[in-house]
Amino acid sequence: MLAFILRRLLQSIAVLLTVGLVAFALFRYVGDPINAMVGQDTSMEERETLREKLGLNDPAPIQFLVFIGNAARGKFGLSYRTSEPVGRMILERVPATLELSICAALFALLVGVPMGVYTGLYPRHWLSQLFQAVSLIGISLPTFLIGILLILIFAVWLRLLPSFGRGETVDLGWWTTNFLTWKGIQALILPSITLGLFQLTLLMRLVRSEMLEVMRTDYIKFARARGLTNRAINFGHALKNTLVPVITVAGLQLGAIIAFAIVTETVFAWPGVGQLFIQSVQFADIPVMAAYLLLIGLLFVLINLTVDLLYFAVDPRLRGQGMARPAGH
């Protein structure tokens, strides 16, 4: 187990270095940050001095090494746009993104899985047809459109929920949370639905097809023959056997939710890291973009690791096989 984790960690470092390298290669094309940093009356000399001091005239490999060296020591420098320390800017926005992502993921799981089970068990029921139709919408409509539609209906027409922002948050020192005030919870609803809808659809369809598959297998027939209750068969045997792929997908999708919260955060003016990233792209704020991409890379690596470990908990066969092929399939 330990050897496995160590090996994965080493791989992770390689992945992060690659992410950093690709990011840096891309930054050559985001344009010149100096113009965004200075006013129109700034003289050429001042511009050049600033460029020189920031190391923007150095060759790309040098810039990359300097960045990696600083990042390894936790130093991400100052944002070109706000002159605040990048590390803190990101940390301050992490709670907003994580709370939103967790809510969206829970929404997708708690609604998507039961819907999938239901449509898998009763494929011809009218409710299943309805779920299928709704899931088509979730898959085919782009996130920003769903978000704007929800805002239009629930904020502008019905005036039930706020149209943007985090509402009220409670500051716990190193974490700000939405969960402790009613306004904060209200503010979470629309963005969570927007962000989670696609994942919900995906999970529902996945669970449904897995369930259909499993229900046809012999051991379900035997279970029925033994006279087990429907509940025991559906959840104890059928659902449990569909879980391995579901966990893989759900885990990877959690990473996707956090990474792609960018769109939802922009639509709802949600002050998370995604919004920070978008603002930074417009200003060619390289330190923030680099740190963000590394963070997301790290996140995916950690999530993959957790998912791999979860297999052990869910699938007893893997425990017997040892660590050689932990992914199982």
Partner 1 sequence: MSFRFRHSLALTALVCAGFGAVAAEAKTFRWANAGDVSSMDPYARNETFLLTFTSNIYDPLIRRDKDLKLEPALAVKWGQVDKTTWFFDLRQGVKFSDGTPFTAADVVFSLNRANGPGSNMGGNFVSVKEIKKINDHRVEVITKYPDPLLADKWAALAMMSKAWAEKNNALNSADMTKNEENFATRNAMGTGAFMLKERRAGERTVLVPNPNWWDKPQHNLTEVIFTPVANPATRVAAIKAGDIDMMYEVPPADTESLKRDANVKVLEGPETRVVFLGFDTERPELLESNVKGKNPFKDKRVREAIHRSIDVQAIKRTVMRGQSFPTNLMVAPGINGYVKALDNRPALLKPEDAKKLLADAGYPNGFEVGMDCPNDRYVNDEKICQAAVAMLARIGIKVNLLAQTRSKYFAKILRKGDYKPGETSFYMLGWSPASTYDVHNVFEQLIQTPSNVTKKGLFNAGGYSNPEVDKLADAMEQETDKAKRDAMIAQATKLYVDDYAYIPLHQQAVVWAARKNIELVQLADNSFPLRFVTVK
The backbone torsions φ and ψ at residue 176, rounded to the nearest 5 degrees and listed phi first, read: -110, 135
- C-beta of 4 vs 260, nearer to partner 1: 260
In whole angstroms, what is the distance from residue 241 CA to residue 314 CA? 9
- Taking CB under 8 A as the rule, does residue 82 contact partner 1? yes
Among 3, 59, 72, 83, binds partner 1 (CB under 8 A): 83
- Taking CB under 8 A as the rule, does residue 189 contact partner 1? no
Of 196, 191, 201, the closest CA to residue 140 belongs to 201
Residue 78, strand partner residues: 85
- Span of 58-66, 91-99, 217-225, 233-241 interacting with partner 1 by CB under 8 A: 91-99
The SS3 call for residue 177 is strand
In whole angstroms, what is the distance from residue 249 CA to residue 245 CA? 6
Residue 283's H or E segment, with its range, is none
Q: Least distance (Å) from partner 1 to the CB of residue 175?
A: 14
Q: Least distance (Å) from partner 1 to the CB of residue 279?
A: 7
In whole angstroms, what is the distance from residue 169 CA to residue 279 CA? 22
- Span of 7-15, 42-50, 113-121, 124-132 interacting with partner 1 by CB under 8 A: 42-50
Of 291, 328, 306, 294, the closest CA to residue 15 belongs to 294
- C-beta of 179 vs 222, nearer to partner 1: 179
Q: Least distance (Å) from partner 1 to the CB of residue 277?
A: 11
- Taking CB under 8 A as the rule, does residue 5 contact partner 1? no
Among 2, 29, 173, 225, binds partner 1 (CB under 8 A): 29
The backbone torsions φ and ψ at residue 81, rounded to the nearest 5 degrees and listed phi first, read: -85, -45
Burial of 215 (0-12, 13-18, 19+ CB in 10 A): middle
Residues contacting partner 1: total by CB under 8 A: 61
- C-beta of 130 vs 278, nearer to partner 1: 278
Binding mask 238-267 for partner 1 (x = CB under 8 A): ----------------------------xx
Contact yes or no for 97/166 (Cβ under 8 A): no
Residue 145, strand partner residues: none
* Binding footprint of partner 1 on the chain (CB under 8 A): 29-33, 35-44, 46-48, 50-51, 53-54, 75, 77-78, 80-85, 88-89, 92-93, 96, 144, 147-148, 151-152, 155-156, 159, 162-166, 266-269, 271, 275-276, 278-279, 282-284
